[in-house]
């Protein structure tokens, strides 16, 4: 353990690191999907149609906004979301159909600390449980670390079991529960915190790329290796 001249324990030195730039409105292409800066004109209609596939508004329970009664109401939200830089929203566009089928954002962007969060994730039924859904999260994580961020966070309502399972599948480490962290939609939220850090990223990157490889899927599109197994091995001490 390092100590200072007063014999107090101190953290390890951080050398050859500079605060990264804030992420910009750039396209992030992948094999199954691409991330595009959210655009009201380009994305509103296809997002509305994609979300409308869901017969019950389960997607909206743990989000800060929605559900919406009309496309006009939803369009207003898209316009507002597309105008901000923190959160910085992206549409997930399917390569085969060229239609937006989900959104995600960077938020709590703190270059001086080297920390960035992913959130506001709303994947329509057309995107859920597909290789494109995993690739979208991989693309956002890869871009953050390539910019030079040291820490990549994921936070959610502690009662949101699917979100917590998704974070663990993606290889993020559970760091605890922040009690009474927020009030939203008139109710309390205890927040579950997950994160991964830059020194874990190379192994996680390999895990993602192995899972996303076409060779990992049989003729019926079924996975041969589970991502959770690959990421667990990647971050195992």
Tens of pLDDT, residues 185-236: 999 999 999 999 999 999 999 999 999 999 999 999 999 999 999 999 998 7
The tens-digit pLDDT sequence of the chain (237 residues) is: 899 999 999 999 999 899 999 999 999 999 999 999 999 999 999 999 999 999 899 999 999 999 999 999 999 999 999 999 999 999 999 999 999 999 999 999 999 999 999 999 999 999 999 999 999 999 999 999 999 999 999 999 999 999 999 999 999 999 999 999 999 999 999 999 999 999 999 999 999 999 999 999 999 999 999 999 999 999 876
Q: Which fold has domain 28-235?
A: Aminopeptidase (3.40.630)
What are phi and psi for residue 165, nearest 5 degrees?
-65, -40
Model pLDDT, residue 237? 63
Domain ranges of the chain: 28-235
Q: Residue by residue, what is the 3-state secondary structure of the chain?
A: CCECCCCCECCCCCCCCCCCCCCCCCCEECCCEEEEECCHHHHHHHHHHHHCCCCCCHHHCCCCCCCCCCHHHHHHHHHHHHCCCCCEEEEEEECCCCCEEEEEEEEEEECCCCEEEEEEEEECCCCCCCHHHHHHHHHHHHHHHHHCCCEEEEEEECCCHHHHHHHHHCCCEEEEEEEEEEEECCEEEEEEEEEEEHHHHHHHHHHHHHHHCHHHECCCCCECCCHHHHHHHHHCC
Model pLDDT, residue 116? 98
Model pLDDT, residue 235? 86
pTM of the entire structure? 0.95
What are phi and psi for residue 38, nearest 5 degrees?
-60, 130
Nearest-angstrom CA–CA distance, 22 and 3: 33
The CA R_g of the chain, rounded to the nearest whole Å, is 19
């Amino acid at each position: 353990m390092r100590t200072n001249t007063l014999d107090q324990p101190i953290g390890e030195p951080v050398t050859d690191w500079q605060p990264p730039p804030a992420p910009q409105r750039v396209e992030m292409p992948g094999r199954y999907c691409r991330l595009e800066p959210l655009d009201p004109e380009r994305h509103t209609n296809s997002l509305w149609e994609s979300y409308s596939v869901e017969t019950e508004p389960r997607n909206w329970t743990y989000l800060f906004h929605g559900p919406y009664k009309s496309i006009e109401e939803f369009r207003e939200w898209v316009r507002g979301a597309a105008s901000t830089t923190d959160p910085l929203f992206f549409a997930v566009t399917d390569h085969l159909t060229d239609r937006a089928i989900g959104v995600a954002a960077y938020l709590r962007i703190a270059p001086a600390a080297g920390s960035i969060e992913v959130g506001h994730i709303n994947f329509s039924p057309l995107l859920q449980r597909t290789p494109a859904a995993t690739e979208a999260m991989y693309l956002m994580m890869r871009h953050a670390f390539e910019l030079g961020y040291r820490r990549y966070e994921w936070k959610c309502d502690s009662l949101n079991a699917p979100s917590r399972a998704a974070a663990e599948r993606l290889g993020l480490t559970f760091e605890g529960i922040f009690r009474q962290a927020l009030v939203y939609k008139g109710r309390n939220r205890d927040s579950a915190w997950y994160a991964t850090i830059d020194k874990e990223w190379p192994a996680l990157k390999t895990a993602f790329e192995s899972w996303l490889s076409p060779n990992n899927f049989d003729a019926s599109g079924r996975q041969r290796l589970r991502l959770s197994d690959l990421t667990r091995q990647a971050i195992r001490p």
